[in-house]
């Protein structure tokens, strides 16, 4: 099975780049399933029901979120009815929405997607390792689940790497989101799980992690509050990865970085 994963979509510029490039990527690579992290899609802060619907209509099958999950308050009421939107799995019991779900893929087969929040340098949630372990035990790959994808949303590469090794052989892919910087450590781990520390963002890289650079620089230099951060508005780079899995085991055969448009050097699988 072939799966396309897109990193954090940042603001209108990021959304427009996804709308522009995703049809080409779908035609060229024919993924059976497309996932994107949308936690910065609405002006850099969360996602709205309207924007989520637009991304679904553009050809994304599942949207994952992160620490900005509730920044757009309409999602508190909407998320239970949006079956294609996942919030972090390891939020307290009783939180609206779901952190893991099974989806049908094009051509048949089911894809398990897990969205989980890291703890280092983040607002702490429940134990992400225990939460992921419970879901993988309930839905093992190769027995009715063709692929299992984990979006691990966090700051520390060490925590992301630890998650990769923790689930190695039990998941198809662990991919990091949140830092907005694409890493070069794409690989297949020893027992067959694909791994990438961060997929990067779909946003303008003439920025500070997607936000207007002048405000960010001023905050660091002056150590004083500024106006609210807003997304940079130049041409965006669409960043992500392409995963190919073994049809029998659900484990990774290949993880390839993908970058198109904007300022970063292109990388096409």
Q: pLDDT value at position 245?
A: 98
In the structure, what pLDDT confidence band is assigned to residue 123 with cuts at 50, 70 and 90? confident
171 vs 191: CA distance, rounded Å: 10
146 vs 119: CA distance, rounded Å: 29
pLDDT per position as a tens digit, 227-267: 888 999 999 999 999 999 999 999 999 999 999 999 999 99
Compute the mean pLDDT over every residue in the chain, rounded to the nearest whole number: 96
In the structure, what pLDDT confidence band is assigned to residue 72 with cuts at 50, 70 and 90? very high
pLDDT per position as a tens digit, 77-114: 999 999 999 999 999 999 999 999 999 999 999 999 99
Which phi and psi angles does 104 have, rounded to 5°?
-80, 140
Residue spans per domain, the chain: 2-260
Q: pLDDT value at position 234?
A: 95
Q: pLDDT value at position 143?
A: 86
Return the closest-CA partner of residue 84 out of 65, 110, 56, 62: 62
Whether the pLDDT of residue 13 is over 80: the answer is yes
Topology (CATH) of 2-260: Purple Acid Phosphatase; chain A, domain 2 (3.60.21)
Q: pLDDT value at position 263?
A: 96
Name the strand (E) or helix (H) holding 86.
Answer: strand 85-86
Q: Is residue 68 annotated as a catalytic residue, yes or no?
A: yes
Catalytic pick among 21, 68, 153, 186:
68
């Amino acid at each position: 099975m072939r799966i396309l994963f897109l990193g954090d979509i940042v603001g209108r510029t990021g959304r427009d780049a996804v709308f522009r490039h995703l049809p080409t990527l779908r035609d060229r690579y024919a993924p059976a399933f497309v996932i994107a992290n949308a936690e910065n899609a609405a002006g850099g802060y969360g996602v709205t029901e309207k924007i989520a619907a637009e991304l679904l209509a553009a050809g994304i099958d599942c949207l994952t979120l992160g620490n900005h999950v509730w920044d757009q308050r309409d999602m508190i009421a909407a998320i239970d009815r949006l079956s294609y939107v996942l919030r972090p799995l390891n939020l307290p019991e009783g939180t609206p929405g779901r952190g893991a779900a099974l989806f049908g893929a094009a051509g048949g087969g089911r894809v398990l997607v897990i969205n989980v929040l890291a703890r280092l340098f983040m607002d702490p949630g429940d134990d992400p390792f225990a939460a992921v372990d419970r879901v993988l035990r309930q839905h093992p790959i190769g027995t009715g689940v063709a692929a299992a994808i984990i979006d691990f949303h966090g700051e520390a590469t060490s925590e992301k790497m630890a998650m990769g090794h923790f689930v190695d052989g039990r998941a198809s892919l662990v991919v990091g989101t949140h830092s907005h910087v694409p890493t070069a450590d794409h690989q297949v781990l020893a027992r067959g799980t694909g791994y990438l520390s961060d997929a990067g963002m779909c946003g303008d890289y003439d920025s500070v992690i997607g936000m207007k650079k002048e405000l960010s620089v001023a905050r660091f230099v002056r150590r004083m509050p500024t106006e609210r951060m807003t997304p940079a508005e130049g041409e965006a780079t669409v960043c992500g990865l392409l995963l190919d899995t073994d049809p029998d085991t659900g484990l990774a055969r290949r993880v390839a970085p993908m970058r198109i448009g904007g300022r970063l050097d292109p990388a096409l699988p």
